[in-house]
Structure 1
């Protein structure tokens, strides 16, 4: 009898443990879905529709581009999910590429991210913020060039100061201003659906939706995909939380299958809502699409739209400043950037030198670029880095076939993504050789920088003294020191590396 009671008690404990585990798995799935949607849905949806329509040439083709863009993101997310659980180390693309292809390729990706991707993205979002804030003051014309640049610069400087002052302030700003983008998108979609129910959908009729303003070409369609990819950027952030996921083999693909179709639906419905109230010509003529939408349909409440989008873009700038500074910090800690960038404030524990570098690079790009050219610029480099990372997945499959992979996608997934990637980049380079080529040139300038700054160990002593002097001055000015080393982050990426 005692044995029977003990057995029953053990069975009850096993059942309770199973229920708790299922509950944790369910909660993890819900969390990951919200995490991925929160990172993908951003200010890009208020920026990219004009560029997508301009290059696609018709309403119907632009909507197809938005839908297909979501499908491509799903393929890339599955590949990144496998990499995230196979190489469990913070740093994302940079860490994966460095581990698979070595220091040079990893440095080039870091170099392009620090000089191009993050500063250009910040510049685009800051310009969008200033355009939406100033557009109501200039209803009949574009806001002055100097005014938009000045307001964007002030915004970037203010948020850099916030991030330098307190991590808590930065995260609270992110939480509060996330409401702005959700409010704006919900309002646009609901009002658009009301318009469609009233019969205002002339631009969406098939006979007019596929009426091209110009003869479509593969090169222009590729540029339309680049414009849409700016709005979808953030899909690769999902694999950053794979180390903390319960049963990642189940939950990560589940989150991808749920969240990315939902984001694709939101983006497509937002564009449909735009076309329910604006003709293609009106959308292309608008410098702030959501403001024009609000002025036509919201009447006395039209002020809600620019405020909502401004809140969204303000939070987007804060988020990208936070992320880009941490990438600089990670690269400096690995020895690929000056060690000063790996230091944090003595009291606030914020990476002030890294934040200042990101702020300075953003302000420089603000002064020399136009919004839609900058989007082509950054999207080309983004896709280039995505393709290199996913090619690393195929290389890792061949080089280390016995490596433990909690998630293992079909080979067709990375191959399909890379085929699309090659076509997209090839025709984009053909259509915009100056914009895309300049991005590649800047990336390749990292080769001599790597060999001189990182690979060359026996430099003259005067060089080391100069670096030490600059680092010492930077420490005194920014009041920063090296953080306490976390030994867990310096361990090898995988314990099976030596046995493969």
Structure 2
């Protein structure tokens, strides 16, 4: 095992759960709600629960590999150390996972700005929206550079406040909605007759992006107390809480908001529904909840992914300056993440980037399950559970690709092009590393 330098252990279970939930309960639930309702209606809560089970299967291998390797490089390091002879596989995993995080970071910031100015005269001004998005990334870049402990406490406050707010809003919508429980169940019965198992599973696979973020816990392995207990506790607890909050939000929306409005307004549907049921106060609470949700997602993603980027850069698969740390904080990687996210925001096309992120994280989770199966004796993993994870994630990945090809084939072609560009960059750095190793041997 690699020996790490002694570092301050500032993050306990509460902070780790907050980091994971911060990465999960961001823009994802607001985005997937409209897609899910348009495809399977009142069966949306069922698909969300199945999506949580898929996420739990993915988490199993992450937990086992995280406890075995104890490496803040997480996804990248697990694959590199399981397959140490392949420079290209290590490099391409690193590039894919980091740009997946950059895409979600951009989306969270853009969603933040959309809600922040949604009730002002500037709501439709695209450049003000982009400026605010870049500004909020800058704020959390500073916070993450300033203090690990400070970031943890701020993350605690934002995450747990947003969970309380979203829960209150959801129950208020259920209470004041025009649909009662009997009607809801009758509508669900109709949706069961009209929906296929395939469509439910496709939606479950799409919802996987709303659970992306639990991996960020492992990136904090060098700043956490008692990793042996806190890694599995934090990850499984965070996924369970995310499932509960997503189900409550979806039921609240379906009780209070007409399906056509959910489909039409998508991420703004919850705010519109709260306005109808609870008035201006309800709308303002939803906006506040969305701002807190996206803020904590930005903070948690910057924290975890920057540490992974620094590890990859130190190994030579990104520019070396990204590996430099000050007081154990990877400040250059944090700044690098912020700059690249800002560029994506300026370029636009965030829906395309989001789809790239969802496919990437599902694919990478499958590769983690395969890596865990290879060394299952060392990680003390169940063969049956690991195989189940591989099968489940493989089916999920196939279903989301099928959905993309049949409904958004132009977007799928653009995603393939993006993969080719990233593959080229990773190949160049893998070749440099291979040549360097050859020179060292000589």
* TM-score of the alignment, normalized to the shorter chain, above 0.5: yes
* Aligned counterpart in structure 2 of residue 206 of structure 1, from 166, 177, 186: 186
Q: Deviations over 1:333-380 (max 9, x none)?
A: 2232222112235xx764332223212211222234444433221010
* Aligned counterpart in structure 2 of residue 275 of structure 1, from 222, 242, 254: 254
Structure 2 SS opposite 1:344: coil
Q: How does 1:100-249 map to 2 (within 5 A)?
A: 100-102=82-84, 103-114=87-98, 116-137=99-120, 143-167=124-148, 169-195=150-176, 200=180, 204-207=184-187, 210-211=190-191, 218=198, 224-238=203-217, 248=228
Tell me the distance in 1 between the aligned counterparts of 2:146 and 2:15. 29
**1:291 aligned partner:** 271
**1:425 aligned partner:** 397
**2:434 aligned partner:** 455
**1:47 aligned partner:** 31
Tell me the distance in 2 between the aligned counterparts of 1:49 and 1:224. 10
Shift of 1:392: 0.5
- 8 Å Cα contact 2:26-2:108 kept in structure 1: no
Tell me the distance in 1 between the aligned counterparts of 2:418 and 2:184. 36
Q: Deviations over 1:66-110 (max 9, x none)?
A: 010111122222222221222222221111101011332222111
Decide whether aligned partners of structure 1 residues 308 and 60 sit closer, same or farther in structure 2, where only a CA change above 3 A counts: closer
Larger C-alpha radius of gyration, 1 or 2?
1
Shift of 1:264: 1.5
TM-score, reference length from structure 1: 0.72
- 8 Å Cα contact 1:58-1:210 kept in structure 2: no
- 8 Å Cα contact 2:216-2:301 kept in structure 1: no
Tell me the distance in 1 between the aligned counterparts of 2:322 and 2:20. 29
Structure 1 SS opposite 2:436: coil
Structure 2 alignment gaps of length 5 or more = 1-11, 405-411
**1:489 aligned partner:** none
Shift of 1:441: 2.1
Tell me the distance in 2 between the aligned counterparts of 1:182 and 1:264. 12
**2:343 aligned partner:** 364
Decide whether aligned partners of structure 1 residues 166 and 83 sit closer, same or farther in structure 2, where only a CA change above 3 A counts: closer
1:65 and 2:50 correspond:
no
Which protein, 1 or 2, shows the higher relative CO under an 8 Å CA cutoff with sep ≥ 6?
Answer: 2
Decide whether aligned partners of structure 1 residues 213 and 299 sit closer, same or farther in structure 2, where only a CA change above 3 A counts: farther
Tell me the distance in 2 between the aligned counterparts of 1:163 and 1:340. 18
Tell me the distance in 1 between the aligned counterparts of 2:230 and 2:141. 35
- 8 Å Cα contact 2:23-2:297 kept in structure 1: no
- 8 Å Cα contact 1:277-1:293 kept in structure 2: yes
- 8 Å Cα contact 2:47-2:204 kept in structure 1: yes
- 8 Å Cα contact 2:24-2:242 kept in structure 1: yes
Structure 2 SS opposite 1:136: coil
**2:65 aligned partner:** 83
TM-score, reference length from structure 2: 0.81
Shift of 1:181: 1.6
Decide whether aligned partners of structure 1 residues 145 and 226 sit closer, same or farther in structure 2, where only a CA change above 3 A counts: farther
* Aligned counterpart in structure 1 of residue 316 of structure 2, from 335, 341, 344: 335
Root-mean-square deviation (CA), in Å?
3.5
Shift of 1:226: 4.5
Tell me the distance in 2 between the aligned counterparts of 1:62 and 1:163. 36
How many aligned positions are there? 416
Q: Deviations over 1:241-285 (max 9, x none)?
A: 77977694x886676665533431221111001111101111122
Shift of 1:383: 0.9
- 8 Å Cα contact 2:32-2:207 kept in structure 1: yes
- 8 Å Cα contact 1:29-1:251 kept in structure 2: yes
- 8 Å Cα contact 2:201-2:399 kept in structure 1: yes
